[in-house]
């Protein structure tokens, strides 16, 4: 899996519409965090960001 946790899977369920908003009551109760699309590519947890000047392996 590409995710450190599976909270993101709730975004695919219509029953949880709006749960990705960190200001929402349910989101705050379970401590889910910001799962809005604008935050999808922010660094997650304590993972170091990749050096942008490092090349790619071929």
Where exactly are the structural domains of the chain?
A: 1-58
User: Which residue matches tokens 């519409």?
Assistant: 17
pLDDT digits (tens, 9 = 90+) for 35-53: 888 888 877 677 777 788 8
pLDDT score of 5 more than 80: no
The C-alpha atoms of residue 24 and residue 3 are separated, in whole angstroms, by 22
pLDDT in tens, 17-41: 999 999 999 899 988 888 888 888 8
What's the CA gap between 53 and 22, in Å, rounded?
33
3-state SS record for the chain: CCCCCCHHHHHHCHHHCCCCCCCCHHHHHHCCCCCCHHHCCCCCCCCCCCCCCCCCCC
């Amino acid at each position: 899996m590409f995710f450190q946790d599976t909270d993101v899977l709730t975004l695919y369920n219509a029953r949880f519409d709006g749960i990705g908003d960190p200001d929402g009551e349910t989101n705050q109760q379970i401590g889910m965090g910001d799962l809005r699309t604008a935050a999808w590519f922010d660094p997650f947890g304590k993972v170091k960001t990749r050096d942008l000047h490092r090349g790619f392996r071929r």
